[in-house]
A and B are shown apart, each in its own frame.
Chain A
Amino acid sequence: MSQAHTQEGGDDILSIQELKLKFHTYAGEVSALDGIKLSIKKGELLGLVGESGCGKSVTALAIAGLLPPNAEVTGGDVVLDGKNVLALKPEEMRLARLKDIAMIFQDPMTYLNPVLTIGSQMAEITRAEPKLFVSTLVNYRLRQIDKQVEGTNPNPGLPAERERLRHALESQSLGRKELNELTRSYAISLLRSVRLPEPEKVFEMYPFELSGGMRQRVMIAMAMMRRPKLLLADEITTALDVTVQAQILHLLKDLRSEINTSVLLITHDLAIVAEVCDRVAVMYAGNIVEIAEVHELFRNPLHPYSKGLLASVPRADLTRTPDSIEGSVPDLLSPPSGCRFHPRCPKAFEVCPSRKPSMIEVAPDHYVSCFLYGGLNGKNNNT
């Protein structure tokens, strides 16, 4: 697999600016996101890594417009392919979720409807808004027909079908029966592409008949069906065995290059990040503390938290006692003042509790949010 994936177009598919978010709970207000700044380029696989409670899942939910009712965005923008997601009306957001953003979660069993077959759940996607899928479905079938026509013994009805489909493509509409058939063959081909054995059978199966790894592949297939611009993957391999995890990660990389989707991979596992990501963003207590290209981050972590995190990861390839970071993750009901990491930071000094450091570009494409590297006077100075 290539080390660095060439990105088509240098544009950002996603740009989050100063996003602030809080939750209203019985116990008080939880400051979940404290002004985060994040961007993903087209075709890029960005890893968002952090420990529990740091806000990485919340970020994904904010992008997908799936925040719970007690969440309140108090500032900032989320711009997806030029559109401000936060400003969208519910109907527009629904369409965006259908076509532009796809999200895969940790536990596929709870996110798949247990009483519907895999096939019906996949069909639901195109049935929801057929107009959005006409091109995809028709083009897929046309490619299939072309292949069959060139092959041996082509079905005589094919040219007629091809005409019908071209007509449908022009008019951007499909009959119901046609829609169902095309959806079925497209869905099965996707199930095959995620390396599920006997995809036709899987199409008719219920979620409980599949193993965890298979269900997760189904989720990926359902996401890929929409050919989204951005794929949000939230701890998708955490519940899986390591051998299955390896397969899923491999699959993700392959699919990413086939469809040129951008991926936001959320995980707490730095090893996964090292294996598949192009760039990495490290999150702590509602803030993004460091963003860098993956090799750069592992070679030269700047933020004390990143350093601590890297040092505490146990390695299967070395015998080295991992270090730990003192203390524990703060309670976001009353987070620490200034830089939220300062109570646990070995390098904290006077200014740290008083102000929040801003994100500074310390090296090309390597950003840190830490006073050690500048930002004291708003200037960038290397200490």
Chain B
Amino acid sequence: MERTTILETKGLAKWYPTRGGPLSEKMYLRAVDGVTLSIRKGETLGLVGESGCGKTTFGRTIMRLTEPSSGSIVFDGEEISKLHGRGLKHVRRRMQMVFQDPYASLDPRQSVRSTLLEPMRIHNVVSSKAEAERLAEDLIEKVGLNQDHLSRFPHEFSGGQRQRITIAAALAVKPTFMVLDEPTSSLDVSVQAQILRLLKKLQEEFELTYLFISHNMAVIRQVCDRIAVMYLGRMVELADTKTLFENPKHPYTKALLTSVPTPDPTRRKELAVLEGDVPSAVGIPVGCRFRSRCAFAAEKCGVSPPLVEVEKNHWIECHYDIDFDSHAQLELGQGS
């Protein structure tokens, strides 16, 4: 099956101006600082990183909830970074987003039925009221709830159920691409698995492409085909899931993976490998931005590292190819 790219960003950046002090130079919070990646049709691409890495901002920017500071976003062959008004509305029908907090995602005064019918009305998806009703009934069942839930209100539902409702509403316009921003982070562990399974089922049924944003490495592993690791606004590693977990190449990825506790007491390990906290995204220093916390930092790291394909479909933004066991560092030349 020929895979085509459904969404591609080139050098996407989103900078927020911060109030400068007595100095005249304006400081920027560089939430997303030049991200180039492409998402293939039908895949689930994971976007993982800690707080401040820019993954949520990236998701919101490609959804055009905010306008990018620079760079391009090409969705289904169309450049959408500068679209507004009707043109943008047209695109919105094909891309939808599920947010992290199911408790705040729904208008508390709106019934479930109304929540599902509204997107249909906005985009004229159906031609008659009866058809809309039928679609709503179909959707609510597809997400695992039942028809008499349609007349109820959000406060009568649990977090997991509310998330199902938002997913159903997103599907009402028959999108092709969905950004899932930490969709299960606010939910209990036992419910989390239900929602993830639902998302997988819906992906197959509706032929969707997912961008799955999360800080939880364990969840990412279950759900994604490929994973991009972000740090301070840039993508530092991109690989297939299996490769990323079994053979991470970027020091940050490695540190991230070793910091994750495993639910197995026989495998306790020295967790803390990374010193210090995630630095601020304001006034990012020149060169590799992971330098201050990297155990392998060397002089060359004062220069911004290139994005290099270290092996097939495995990219890292680093000057070195590091063997974490032997600590051998191999300098990466220009062009792999």
Report chain A residues within 8 Å CB of B161. 328
Instruction: Give a binary string over B203-225; 1 marks a CB under 8 Å from any A CB, 0 the rest.
Output: 00000000000011111011000
- Known A-B contacts A241-B50, A275-B261, A310-B263; A329 and B268 likewise in contact (beta carbons under 8 Å): no
A49 → B minimal CB distance (Å): 10
Report chain A residues within 8 Å CB of B148. none
* B268 contacts A316, C-beta separation under 8 Å: no
The 8 closest A-B pairs by CB, nearest first: A324-B193, A246-B271, A241-B50, A314-B218, A271-B261, A246-B259, A51-B188, A325-B190
**Partner pick for A52 among B188, B215, B263, B277, CB 8 A cutoff:** B188
* B261 contacts A314, C-beta separation under 8 Å: no
* A313 contacts B189, C-beta separation under 8 Å: yes
**Partner pick for B265 among A242, A294, A308, A314, CB 8 A cutoff:** A294
Report chain B residues within 8 Å CB of A115. none
B274 within 8 A of A: yes
Q: How far is the CA of A16 from the CA of B205 in the complex (A)?
A: 51
Q: Which of A16-60 contact B (CB under 8 A)?
A: 51-52
Interface size class of B (residues with CB under 8 A): 35 or more
Interface size class of A (residues with CB under 8 A): 35 or more
Q: In chain A, what residue has the closest Cβ to B222?
A: A314
* B256 contacts A270, C-beta separation under 8 Å: no
Report chain B residues within 8 Å CB of A110. none
Report chain B residues within 8 Å CB of A213. 277
A250 within 8 A of B: yes
B271 → A minimal CB distance (Å): 4
B6 within 8 A of A: no
Report chain B residues within 8 Å CB of A308. 190
Instruction: Give a binary string over A290-309; 1 marks a CB under 8 Å from any B CB, 0 the rest.
Output: 00001100100000000011
A247 within 8 A of B: yes
A171 within 8 A of B: no
- Known A-B contacts A274-B262, A324-B197; A319 and B242 likewise in contact (beta carbons under 8 Å): yes
Q: A residues engaging B (CB < 8 A)?
A: 1, 3, 51-52, 197, 211-214, 241-247, 249-250, 268-275, 277, 294-295, 298, 308-310, 312-325, 328-329
**5 A-B residue contacts at CB 8 Å?**
A212-B277, A275-B262, A312-B190, A314-B218, A315-B221
B148 → A minimal CB distance (Å): 17
* A312 contacts B192, C-beta separation under 8 Å: yes
Q: In chain A, what residue has the closest Cβ to B268?
A: A275
Instruction: Give a binary string over B271-297; 1 marks a CB under 8 Å from any A CB, 0 the rest.
Output: 111111110000000000000000000
* A319 contacts B263, C-beta separation under 8 Å: no
Q: How far is the CA of A294 from the CA of B259 in the complex (A)?
A: 20
A195 → B minimal CB distance (Å): 9
* B262 contacts A315, C-beta separation under 8 Å: yes
B264 within 8 A of A: yes
Report chain B residues within 8 Å CB of A316. 217-218, 221, 245, 257, 260, 262
A162 → B minimal CB distance (Å): 37
A212, A295, A313, A323 — which one has the most chain B CB atoms within 10 A of its CB? Answer: A313
A72 → B minimal CB distance (Å): 26
Q: How far is the CA of A277 from the CA of B268 in the complex (A)?
A: 11
**Partner pick for A242 among B194, B256, B268, CB 8 A cutoff:** B256
Report chain B residues within 8 Å CB of A271. 218, 260-263
* A329 contacts B263, C-beta separation under 8 Å: no
Report chain B residues within 8 Å CB of A269. 189, 261
Q: How far is the CA of A1 from the CA of B197 in the complex (A)?
A: 37
Report chain B residues within 8 Å CB of A275. 261-262, 265, 268, 271
Q: Which of B240-258 contact A (CB under 8 A)?
A: 241-242, 245, 255-257
* B261 contacts A243, C-beta separation under 8 Å: no
B304 within 8 A of A: no
B191 within 8 A of A: yes
B18 within 8 A of A: no
* A329 contacts B277, C-beta separation under 8 Å: no
Q: How far is the CA of A249 from the CA of B260 in the complex (A)?
A: 11
* A322 contacts B222, C-beta separation under 8 Å: yes
B51 within 8 A of A: yes
